[in-house]
Amino acid sequence: MTSRAETRKCEHHAHPSVVQPNKPALLKRLNRIEGQARGVAKMVEDDRYCVDILTQIAAIQSALDALAMQLLESHTNGCVRSAIQSGDGDAAVDELMTLVKRFAR
């Protein structure tokens, strides 16, 4: 099954508007993360125990990492694959590696 993001024309330097596959699921995850961040702010405001706050921060980081991985996978399967097939793979792979290094720990 091909998503709309995978079929769009990807132009490496133009950074076109992209319709994300599974957009509702991405937005649901982002809303959940936003709620978690508001919860942490409330915990700080309420002078909650530091370990409890740090535990929630770790959960937010994990959720953001999972979201980033989902977007990275989508980008790889869409834009990068398209660029390689059209002969523009070098720039797309360089950009992809820059992204991977940004998230590598």
Q: Which domains does the chain have, with CATH numbers?
A: 22-103 (1.20.58.1000)
Q: What is the pLDDT averaged over residues 14-36?
A: 85
pTM over 0.85: no
Assigned token pair, 81: 């694959």
Q: Please write the tens of the pLDDT for every residue from 31-79.
A: 999 999 999 999 999 999 999 999 999 999 999 999 999 999 999 998 8
Assigned token pair, 6: 């995978």
DSSP letters spanning 20-73: -TTHHHHHHHHHHHHHHHHHHHHHHHTT--HHHHHHHHHHHHHHHHHHHHHHHH
Q: What confidence score (pLDDT) does residue 103 get?
A: 84
